[in-house]
Amino acid sequence: MGSRLMHAAIAKQLMAKFSQLGMAFMIGNEAPDVDKISQMSKDETHYLVPSDRGTRRVDLQAFLLEHPETLSDSFALGYYTHLLADEVWLTDVFMKVVPSQDDPRRATVLERYYQDFKKLNPYLVHKYGLQPLPATATDAVPADFADRACVEKLIQDYNADFIGETIGDLEVLNSTQIDVYIANVVHLMTKVIDSGIFVEK
């Protein structure tokens, strides 16, 4: 699934289009990754369910059933945007560049794939004008979402992506591919916000 800064780039593009979207939307776009620092599993935070395509899929409909307020709640809309972006990533990027689970090359490719995430961070920061999140971003998170300490750590991890630089050429991903992916999700979400009709699968 896409990196924290890819999700931030999507959020920032949408915030430029829709003035009603603010910090709650931005932090909502990062919120599903709280699984890395909380007791919630990735399956829980990302609504992942089995599929027959070689990867799990994001159950967007399950999220919408749990959160009927999504269109009018900026945090929930950001969370949904992250989930939709992850589903697009799985089908349009991940499945095209990472070998199947029974392929002996998979482990090596995955290692290079995650290194490319780090190498892409400076590009994403400069291309999309990204900024670290302020400490006050925690105020935009609903109190019942997660422990405040987890949210603070999530923001710290996000801000750490702006520090340092991993040198080297991209080996699995490429910048054009990432730009197309970001533009595709922004286009899908623009249609959702304009029409009020969600992508559910």
55 contacts 42 by C-beta, under 8 angstroms: no
pLDDT of amino acid 36 = 76
How far apart, in whole angstroms, are the C-alpha atoms of residue 31 and residue 24? 10
DSSP line for 2-61: --HHHHHHHHHHHHHH-TT--HHHHHHHHGGGGGGTSSS-HHHHTTEE--SSSS-EE-HH
Task: Tell me if 133 is assigned to some domain.
Answer: yes
pLDDT score of 143: 85
Give the CA diameter of the chain: 48
Predicted pLDDT of residue 50: 87
Closest of 139, 1, 142, 16 to residue 67, by C-alpha: 142
Q: Which two tokens stand for residue 17?
A: 């289009």
Q: Give the SS3 label for residue 179.
A: helix
Of the candidates 31, 9, 8, the residue with the CA atom closest to the CA atom of residue 154: 31
As a whole number, mean pLDDT of residues 73-78 equals 97
pLDDT exceeds cutoff 80 at 38: no
Mean of pLDDT values over 70-80: 96
Q: Which two tokens stand for residue 40?
A: 């919630």
Instruction: Report the DSSP beta bridge partners of residue 57.
Output: 49
21: pLDDT strictly greater than 90: yes
pLDDT in tens, 106-146: 999 999 999 999 999 999 999 999 999 998 999 999 988 88
Does some domain include residue 157? yes
Number of domains in the chain: 1
For residues 83-101, give the mean pLDDT.
95
User: E strands along 103-164, which residues?
Assistant: none
pTM of this structure: 0.95
Cα distances (Å, whole numbers) of residue 37 to 45, 48, 63, 154, 157: 12, 18, 21, 7, 10
Label residue 166 left, alpha or beta by phi (over 0 means left) and psi (-120 to 50 means alpha). Answer: beta
List the structure tokens of 7.
Answer: 């999700």
- Specify if 201 maps to a domain: no
Pick 201 or 176 by higher pLDDT.
176
Is residue 200 assigned to a domain? Answer: no
Q: Print the domain residue range for 100.
A: 4-195
